[in-house]
Chain A
């Protein structure tokens, strides 16, 4: 087939990119080769717009075993134990086909984790939908939640935490980010780097079908009115086969027959084979006649570009084929040697005894385009509103309105569709600041959470980038965990737009500063650009997945109030910052002004002191103050416990709304027994940490003297009605 300009364009390649291909090959590519370039050079696989910014992120630390660049990041949690984790987006497929899109997002991230030798122990998700009254939202919500649920439920990995948010910015482009966390023995971690010549390249797992062809390219373009036509690019998930594949791989990993292993994710057989030998500075020869296919008559082009799920590529040590095959036979999975490693440094494709494609590996990887795209800075927005000019609202009415709003409502409609208990190590399920998973048969546990703050990032990307890292850090501390490392999923619009590129660049600078300051490195991640339709970009939505360690599971805490008469102490100062707050947005529809300022040194000091108090067992429950401010955090502590609170009035700030709804950062609420109060204050004093008494636990009523007195059942009802009525 003659390669025309139209064909090049259909492959998502720019004319100058096509010229570069011809230069690198020193000839015109054939159709198969063009497809392979398209798969490797798209934004999703090549990170061509993001690489120069990503390299600035801090990725090293005492506890980091493996940073970005592998299937997932690896951290050391002491003894023989390593935790392997990563977050990834499946936004575009989920918008086109919500159930399968979301399900295969979970499947893909699970493979990234068990490929490295870890047994997955927890799943998390961050899902963002359009406005609830947008006609598509309900269908998308239903499809995504059941897709995420069914995959995790079936494979038997608990889905333990997440966030579900609604905003009109996602009307035409939802976000579905899934995170998987696994546990491995430190000495049994498997990498994707190929080693050795003439080693067998083995295909295992499901057969290859015609689904998901050009999935990664589809995810590297904006949507338009014809997006529905892209349905065939969405893969179809089979969690049952993935369960078999996982068990078979983990069984094979018990001995030493694997040299390297890589899952076939985005760009399928192409990217897995190329990545493995690229890292090992080798070549690879694949015999495509041998690829197990679901249908007759599949072409090499389809085989190389299919994104059929539940497949892996393994490079085996010599003479291990027979034993390895036995394991895959036991699990009724395909196991076929389809090629070998070579010293040519080329990807060589053979079919029906002919060489049908030959591409230098470096042309697909290190010589892929790299763009330093133009970007513009976002200025810190001004504060233009005088709260005295706004229409008065009663504190009680504002609180109940926020508690019953879609974004703040109780999410059990979502979380009850997930099996949170399978594997029987979930000690803290969703609904807390972070979930806590005990390491099987051990004393210790890990805490995991996911967070995002798109409105802060939109208002001022630099501050927003810092804020989400701090939020993740606070959530881990609030359950008694020492924060260790993060994974990030960077969801942005079209990088060719300098404003979007600026949002990306500045969020990353913010991320970098906060991660460095808090010694909270990034060990894995994923970039998703082109989130938008017809030139309307989504608000910048970086999502952070955090992991922390709790030495003794029994010391974990949550934010559920424990005892009448206990005191709620607030750590950190309230200044009353209402710009970009839930209060402004929900009550007055005001979306302007700067996000709350981040003081990294306060964050660090406050967090470390709180963790110290928790470890000294002086804190009975804890909660970070985030969106909705002090009053919402207090209400959230009441809701799961059934206790009420008698809340103090502010001593300095005159405006009640600013005091109760302000979203100043670096604050925590701690439930303290009266007998420990003096001691706690003394320790905080020594650490130069500001604290104040804000409430006392009582029965039945949530009240502020002279303002309101709400029965806890009413609070509960308003928090629980939205999903049920939707």
Chain B
């Protein structure tokens, strides 16, 4: 499977995601933000980091970069797109995903391991997870507090477009297990067609037991299925 990682000035998880993809047998290409051509690929990843320093608003400037036009085109043609952390923020800024990521409820950067529950495994990204499986992933963000209109929130729930919700070790989804104040404990969402996934936790940080755990592996291997 071919993957492409878009590198913005200020991206800082580009090397990590590329390393994880290659480890899991993707043929990966890095593409610079000033480029105007995307190589043919099955998966486009917008990595974490602080694109353009997160100046103006997280993801706002990256959403206007050259290469994003191509990403939007590919996404609309059905190409799989994964936005992690800053990548999720960029996806909401482009409008490929609805809603916004506000400042964390405690107004501080949060860097720690959290738990999420796999809520929908009937899709390209999550088919190797078990339904309701609890995963331990890492978050590291200032703005991860997902917010959207009540209509859209209802739509997300009704159409089962929320693959991951923050929970505790046992899988309980509550205000206590919500690290950043996201509506309905949302850690990630799909678009309608479920070919675009945006999520705040970093699955690429969880692909090696020596470093952390391997709860992130199945997100990538699901795509190979």
A residues neighboring B (CB under 8 Å):
146, 149-150, 153-156, 238-241, 243-244, 330-332, 412, 415-427, 438, 553-554
**Docked complex Cα distance between A417 and B110 (Å):** 5
Q: Are A421 and B212 in contact (CB under 8 A)?
A: yes
**Docked complex Cα distance between A553 and B20 (Å):** 19
Q: Are A554 and B210 in contact (CB under 8 A)?
A: yes
Q: Are A153 and B109 in contact (CB under 8 A)?
A: yes
Which of B9, B15, B32, B54 has the largest count of A CB atoms less than 10 A from its CB? B9
Q: Assuming A416-B111, A417-B111, A424-B204, is B9 touching A240 (CB within 8 A)?
A: yes
- Within the complex, the shortest CB–CB distance from A164 to chain B, in Å, comes to 15
Partner among A239, A422, A425, A438 whose Cβ is within 8 Å of the Cβ of B140:
A422
Minimum CB distance partner of A418 in chain B: B111
Residues of the A chain whose Cβ atoms lie less than 8 Å from the Cβ of B192? none
| 9 interchain residue pairs of minimum CB distance | A156-B12, A240-B53, A419-B140, A154-B50, A419-B111, A424-B16, A416-B112, A421-B205, A417-B109
Q: Are A153 and B140 in contact (CB under 8 A)?
A: yes
Minimum CB distance partner of B52 in chain A: A240
Residues of the A chain whose Cβ atoms lie less than 8 Å from the Cβ of B32? 330
**Docked complex Cα distance between A611 and B54 (Å):** 45
B202 at the A interface (CB under 8 A): yes
Which of A154, A239, A415 has the largest count of B CB atoms less than 10 A from its CB? A154
* 6 more CB-based (< 8 A) A-B contacts, given A238-B53, A243-B9: A146-B108, A153-B50, A155-B12, A156-B49, A243-B50, A417-B108
**Docked complex Cα distance between A238 and B54 (Å):** 11
Q: Are B138 and A421 in contact (CB under 8 A)?
A: yes
- Within the complex, the shortest CB–CB distance from A119 to chain B, in Å, comes to 10
Residues of the B chain whose Cβ atoms lie less than 8 Å from the Cβ of A417? 108-111
Per-residue CB proximity of B21-64 to A under 8 Å, as 1/0? Answer: 00000000000101000000000000011101111000000000
Q: Are A423 and B16 in contact (CB under 8 A)?
A: yes
**Docked complex Cα distance between A240 and B34 (Å):** 17
Partner among A155, A330, A421, A554 whose Cβ is within 8 Å of the Cβ of B111:
A421
Identify which of residues 79-136 in chain B touch chain A, using a CB-to-CB cut-off of 8 Å: 108-112
Give 15 pairs: A residue, B residue, CB < 8 Å, sorted on A: A153-B50, A155-B12, A156-B12, A156-B13, A156-B49, A238-B53, A239-B53, A240-B9, A416-B110, A417-B111, A421-B140, A422-B48, A423-B15, A423-B16, A554-B210
**Docked complex Cα distance between A153 and B140 (Å):** 8
**Docked complex Cα distance between A10 and B211 (Å):** 53
**Docked complex Cα distance between A390 and B122 (Å):** 69
B residues neighboring A (CB under 8 Å):
9-10, 12-13, 15-16, 19-20, 32, 34, 48-50, 52-55, 108-112, 138, 140, 142, 202, 204-205, 207-208, 210-212
**Docked complex Cα distance between A631 and B34 (Å):** 59
**Docked complex Cα distance between A244 and B49 (Å):** 13
**Docked complex Cα distance between A415 and B55 (Å):** 24
Q: Are B50 and A240 in contact (CB under 8 A)?
A: yes
Partner among A146, A155, A239 whose Cβ is within 8 Å of the Cβ of B109:
A146
Q: Are A438 and B211 in contact (CB under 8 A)?
A: yes
Partner among B10, B109, B204 whose Cβ is within 8 Å of the Cβ of A149:
B109
Residues of the B chain whose Cβ atoms lie less than 8 Å from the Cβ of A156? 12-13, 49-50
Q: Are B53 and A154 in contact (CB under 8 A)?
A: yes
**Docked complex Cα distance between A353 and B52 (Å):** 38
**Docked complex Cα distance between A415 and B109 (Å):** 10
**Docked complex Cα distance between A156 and B55 (Å):** 16
**Docked complex Cα distance between A149 and B138 (Å):** 16
Residues of the B chain whose Cβ atoms lie less than 8 Å from the Cβ of A419? 109, 111, 140
**Docked complex Cα distance between A243 and B13 (Å):** 12
Q: Assuming A240-B55, A424-B205, is B109 touching A150 (CB within 8 A)?
A: yes
Minimum CB distance partner of B49 in chain A: A156
Minimum CB distance partner of A333 in chain B: B9
**Docked complex Cα distance between A417 and B141 (Å):** 9
Minimum CB distance partner of A156 in chain B: B12
**Docked complex Cα distance between A330 and B7 (Å):** 13
Residues of the A chain whose Cβ atoms lie less than 8 Å from the Cβ of B54? 154, 240
Q: Assuming A150-B109, A153-B109, A416-B112, is B50 touching A422 (CB within 8 A)?
A: no
Residues of the B chain whose Cβ atoms lie less than 8 Å from the Cβ of A149? 109, 111
**Docked complex Cα distance between A164 and B23 (Å):** 37
Q: Are B10 and A240 in contact (CB under 8 A)?
A: yes
Residues of the A chain whose Cβ atoms lie less than 8 Å from the Cβ of B205? 421, 424
- Within the complex, the shortest CB–CB distance from A138 to chain B, in Å, comes to 14
- Within the complex, the shortest CB–CB distance from B75 to chain A, in Å, comes to 26
- Within the complex, the shortest CB–CB distance from B41 to chain A, in Å, comes to 22
Residues of the A chain whose Cβ atoms lie less than 8 Å from the Cβ of B202? 421
Which of B52, B109, B210 has the largest count of A CB atoms less than 10 A from its CB? B109
Q: Assuming A149-B109, A416-B110, is B12 touching A427 (CB within 8 A)?
A: no
Residues of the A chain whose Cβ atoms lie less than 8 Å from the Cβ of B212? 421
Q: Are B15 and A332 in contact (CB under 8 A)?
A: no
Which of A156, A241, A423, A553 has the largest count of B CB atoms less than 10 A from its CB? A156
Minimum CB distance partner of B202 in chain A: A421
Which of A146, A155, A240 has the largest count of B CB atoms less than 10 A from its CB? A240
Residues of the B chain whose Cβ atoms lie less than 8 Å from the Cβ of A416? 108, 110-112
- Within the complex, the shortest CB–CB distance from A186 to chain B, in Å, comes to 21
Residues of the B chain whose Cβ atoms lie less than 8 Å from the Cβ of A418? 109, 111
Q: Are B10 and A243 in contact (CB under 8 A)?
A: yes
**Docked complex Cα distance between A616 and B49 (Å):** 41
Minimum CB distance partner of B13 in chain A: A422
- Within the complex, the shortest CB–CB distance from B144 to chain A, in Å, comes to 13
- Within the complex, the shortest CB–CB distance from A207 to chain B, in Å, comes to 15
Residues of the B chain whose Cβ atoms lie less than 8 Å from the Cβ of A425? 211
Minimum CB distance partner of B12 in chain A: A156
- Within the complex, the shortest CB–CB distance from B69 to chain A, in Å, comes to 20
**Docked complex Cα distance between A182 and B119 (Å):** 40
Residues of the A chain whose Cβ atoms lie less than 8 Å from the Cβ of B16? 422-424
**Docked complex Cα distance between A416 and B138 (Å):** 11
**Docked complex Cα distance between A243 and B108 (Å):** 22
- Within the complex, the shortest CB–CB distance from B173 to chain A, in Å, comes to 21
- Within the complex, the shortest CB–CB distance from B203 to chain A, in Å, comes to 11
- Within the complex, the shortest CB–CB distance from A589 to chain B, in Å, comes to 33
**Docked complex Cα distance between A554 and B209 (Å):** 10
- Within the complex, the shortest CB–CB distance from B140 to chain A, in Å, comes to 4
- Within the complex, the shortest CB–CB distance from A141 to chain B, in Å, comes to 12
**Docked complex Cα distance between A416 and B140 (Å):** 9
Residues of the B chain whose Cβ atoms lie less than 8 Å from the Cβ of A331? 9
**Docked complex Cα distance between A156 and B8 (Å):** 13
Partner among B12, B55, B142 whose Cβ is within 8 Å of the Cβ of A243:
B12
Residues of the B chain whose Cβ atoms lie less than 8 Å from the Cβ of A422? 12-13, 16, 48, 140
**Docked complex Cα distance between A420 and B110 (Å):** 11
- Within the complex, the shortest CB–CB distance from A120 to chain B, in Å, comes to 11
**Docked complex Cα distance between A149 and B109 (Å):** 8
Minimum CB distance partner of A244 in chain B: B9
- Within the complex, the shortest CB–CB distance from B143 to chain A, in Å, comes to 12
**Docked complex Cα distance between A110 and B205 (Å):** 23
Which of B10, B54, B205 has the largest count of A CB atoms less than 10 A from its CB? B10
Minimum CB distance partner of A412 in chain B: B112
**Docked complex Cα distance between A101 and B208 (Å):** 36
Minimum CB distance partner of B11 in chain A: A156
Minimum CB distance partner of B7 in chain A: A247
Minimum CB distance partner of A424 in chain B: B16
- Within the complex, the shortest CB–CB distance from B23 to chain A, in Å, comes to 10
- Within the complex, the shortest CB–CB distance from B16 to chain A, in Å, comes to 5
Q: Are B210 and A427 in contact (CB under 8 A)?
A: yes
Partner among A238, A423, A438 whose Cβ is within 8 Å of the Cβ of B210:
A438
Residues of the B chain whose Cβ atoms lie less than 8 Å from the Cβ of A155? 12
Residues of the A chain whose Cβ atoms lie less than 8 Å from the Cβ of B204? 424
- Within the complex, the shortest CB–CB distance from B62 to chain A, in Å, comes to 12
Minimum CB distance partner of A420 in chain B: B111
Which of A243, A330, A421 has the largest count of B CB atoms less than 10 A from its CB? A421
